[in-house]
């Protein structure tokens, strides 16, 4: 099928997906040596780590390529047919973007990098068991070295991402260009879109009793008293905060009035004087102690401790019974699933849409069967059309328990691309191809204007770009 050639597929997978090289989303064993395609080398010569390329102010190490293979494995991308030359080319592209992002004065704030870094570290610690195990796994000397290298890596990734977005931000596509893209394929060459379905859900959350809320309030008030008597806010946040993203850094957050925090949190933070600690502030996430560490004009450096009240076993059982009662009304025809979602569901993101889930990959209501998140697939795999599941106990990333009723509302069979039915998907593919052409044109120009050097046997690589001048 000639839809997009192999090199463009690789670029789309790596560039537009935003590769998180080396620091993966899953913890995995090291890449087996026999799965890595090395460059041919002189008999008896051992390949040692060192600089293999220079792009502007950046260098690429041989070990960076090994780490990239590990990242591919974490994303379940087959690596057998991906060569070291191809990965070096990708890494050099990233350095080219980062170099010119700096030249173009693209700013990545330390606060943004720290936020992402803290989330990554929190994930690693949770999966590996401790900071010490994390440092040992990544073969670093100590936690400070690990954080320093991770900080620089994330910062460069952000520079790369923002430079890519800048290159393509003004690329648009017309209906005529979409039509030409579609008609450029013979009927037998048109892509086949996989089976899809639309899914709806009703979410019932346990009601938290006032007594449980008061326990949390009292605990936070005691923590506040301890801090006022000399205890460290930083240490208390590390020990008690349930905001895993900020907890490991002492609850630190940087914010201004445009920061995307919930209204109650922002209002409380901006009502405090420098050095002041709030009473417990209630938001949809639980209760917060907020400490304003520094006021910088319209920016605040704050720390917070989040603790969420927990439902009792009785509260959880009541939520299950409520879900069963709603299901009975839908099955009897007393109310439709969509109307029940609008009136009864506790999930505001889907409630107004009759419970229909939004696919985060394309922001439509359709989920391709082979790409559906496993947790959703497991919930609906055995459901017939319009059948209502029994209450399914669920737990989100914050540990909150709820019960879900699920329904498959529509199915779409696997089929060759149809211009009328699949216009949006075809348009997206046509736009991506046009964006890739714009990126290629930008790269050709910048490679000529940038100091670039490829070292050793890697100069023999058959690169897509003209790295070897």
| 193-207+312-416 and 210-307 share one fold | yes
Range list of H helices, 202-312: 210-228, 233-240, 244-247, 263-270
Query: Long-range contacts for 345-350 (Cβ within 8 Å, ≥24 apart)?
Result: 345/201, 345/202, 345/203, 345/204, 346/203, 346/204, 346/205, 346/402, 347/201, 347/202, 347/203, 350/200, 350/201, 350/203
pLDDT, residue 220, reads 97
pTM higher than 0.75 for the full model?
Answer: no
Number of Cβ within a 10 Å radius of residue 190:
19
Strands, E, within 331-400: which ranges? 366-368, 392-395
pLDDT, residue 40, reads 38
Most confident of the ranges 56-70, 313-327, 453-467:
313-327
pLDDT, residue 71, reads 67
Residues linked to residue 306 through DSSP beta bridges, in sequence order: 288
How would DSSP label each residue in 126-191?
Answer: HHHSSHHHHHHHTT-SSHHHHHHHHHHHHHHHHHHHHHHHHHHTT----HHHHHHHHHTS-GGGSP
How would DSSP label each residue in 428-464?
Answer: HHHHHHHHHHHHHHHHHHHHHHS-EEE-GGGGG---S
pLDDT, residue 33, reads 38
Is the Cα torsion angle 24, 28, 29, 32 positive or negative in sign?
negative
pLDDT, residue 4, reads 37
Region at 275 (left for phi over 0; alpha for psi -120 to 50; beta for the rest): left
Rounded-to-integer distance, Cα 174 and Cα 51, Å? 44
Cα angle: 144, vertex 147, 150; to 5 degrees: 150
Q: What's the rounded mean pLDDT across residues 409-428?
A: 90
The CATH architecture annotation of domain 210-307 reads: Roll (3.10)
State pLDDT tens for residues 111-161. 888 888 888 887 778 777 888 888 887 778 899 888 888 888 889 889 999
Is the Cα torsion angle 13, 62, 80, 70 positive or negative in sign?
negative
Between 44 and 188, where is the model more confident? Answer: 188
Is 90 exceeded by the pLDDT of residue 450?
yes
Is 90 exceeded by the pLDDT of residue 8?
no
Domain 6-175+424-460: CATH superfamily is Porin chaperone SurA, peptide-binding domain (1.10.4030.10)
Is 50 exceeded by the pLDDT of residue 32?
no
Q: Are 337 and 200 in contact (CB under 8 A)?
A: yes
Is 60 exceeded by the pLDDT of residue 256?
yes
pLDDT, residue 313, reads 94
Q: Are 283 and 264 in contact (CB under 8 A)?
A: yes
Is 90 exceeded by the pLDDT of residue 245?
no
Rounded-to-integer distance, Cα 305 and Cα 10, Å? 43
Buried b (16+ CB within 10 A) or exposed e, 131-147: beebbeebebeeeeebb
Rounded-to-integer distance, Cα 412 and Cα 394, Å? 27
Is 60 exceeded by the pLDDT of residue 30?
no
State pLDDT tens for residues 372-394. 888 888 889 889 888 999 999 99
Mean pLDDT (the chain) is: 85
Which residue ranges make up each domain of the chain?
A: 6-175+424-460, 193-207+312-416, 210-307
Q: Among residues of the chain, what percentage have pLDDT more than 90? A: 57
Q: List the one residue out of 85, 101, 100 whose CA is nearest residue 40.
A: 85
Cα angle: 48, vertex 52, 57; to 5 degrees: 135
pLDDT, residue 315, reads 95
The CATH architecture annotation of domain 193-207+312-416 reads: Roll (3.10)
State pLDDT tens for residues 150-208. 888 889 889 999 999 999 999 999 999 999 999 999 999 998 888 999 999 999 999 99
Q: What's the rounded mean pLDDT across residues 18-43?
A: 37
What's the full length of the chain, in residues?
Answer: 469
Instruction: Count CA atoms within 13 Å of residue 274 on its CB side.
Output: 8
pLDDT, residue 375, reads 84
Is 50 exceeded by the pLDDT of residue 235?
yes
Rounded-to-integer distance, Cα 339 and Cα 188, Å? 43
Question: C-alpha 116: how far from its chain's center?
Answer: 10
């Amino acid at each position: 099928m000639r839809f997009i050639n192999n090199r463009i597929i690789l670029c789309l997978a790596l560039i537009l997906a935003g590769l998180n090289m080396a620091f993966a989303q899953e913890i995995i064993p090291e890449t087996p040596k026999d799965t890595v395609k090395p460059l041919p080398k002189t008999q008896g010569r051992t390949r040692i780590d060192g600089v293999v390329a220079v792009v502007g102010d950046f260098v690429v190490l041989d070990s960076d390529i090994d780490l990239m293979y590990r990242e591919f494995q974490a994303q379940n991308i087959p690596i057998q047919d991906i060569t070291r030359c191809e990965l070096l080319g990708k890494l050099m592209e990233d350095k080219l973007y980062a170099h010119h992002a700096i030249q173009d004065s693209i700013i990545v704030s330390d606060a943004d990098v720290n936020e992402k870094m803290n989330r990554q570290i929190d994930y690693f610690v949770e999966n590996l068991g401790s900071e010490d195990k994390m440092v040992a796994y990544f073969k670093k000397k100590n936690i400070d070295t690990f954080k320093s290298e991770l900080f620089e890596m994330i910062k460069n990734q952000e520079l790369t991402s923002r430079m890519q977005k800048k290159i393509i931000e003004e690329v648009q596509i017309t209906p005529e260009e979409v039509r030409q893209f579609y008609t450029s394929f013979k009927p037998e060459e048109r892509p086949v879109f996989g089976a899809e379905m639309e899914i709806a859900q009703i979410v019932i959350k346990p009601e938290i009793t006032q007594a449980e809320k008061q326990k949390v309030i009292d605990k936070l008030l005691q923590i506040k008293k301890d801090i006022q008597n000399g205890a460290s806010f930083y240490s208390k946040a590390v020990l008690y905060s349930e905001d895993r993203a900020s907890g490991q850094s002492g609850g630190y957050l940087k914010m201004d009035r445009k920061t995307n925090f919930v209204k109650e949190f922002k209002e409380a933070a901006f009502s405090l004087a420098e050095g002041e600690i709030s009473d417990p502030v209630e938001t949809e996430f639980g209760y917060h102690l907020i400490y304003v560490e520094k006021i910088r004009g319209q920016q605040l450096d704050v720390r917070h401790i989040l603790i969420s009240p927990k439902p009792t076993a009785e509260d959880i059982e009541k939520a299950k019974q409520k879900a069963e009662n709603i299901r009975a009304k839908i099955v009897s025809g007393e109310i439709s699933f969509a109307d029940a979602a609008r009136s009864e569901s506790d999930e505001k993101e889907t409630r107004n849409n009759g419970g229909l889930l939004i696919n985060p990959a394309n922001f439509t209501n359709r989920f391709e069967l082979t790409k559906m998140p496993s947790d959703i697939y497991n919930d609906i795999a055995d459901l017939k059309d319009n059948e209502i599941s029994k209450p399914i106990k669920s737990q989100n990333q914050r540990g909150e328990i709820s019960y879900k009723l699920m329904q498959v509302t529509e199915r779409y069979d696997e089929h060759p691309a149809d211009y009328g039915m699949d216009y949006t998907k075809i348009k997206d593919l046509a736009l991506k191809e046009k964006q890739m052409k714009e990126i290629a044109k930008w790269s050709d120009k910048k490679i000529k204007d940038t100091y670039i050097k490829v070292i050793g046997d890697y100069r023999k690589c058959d690169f897509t770009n003209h790295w070897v001048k």
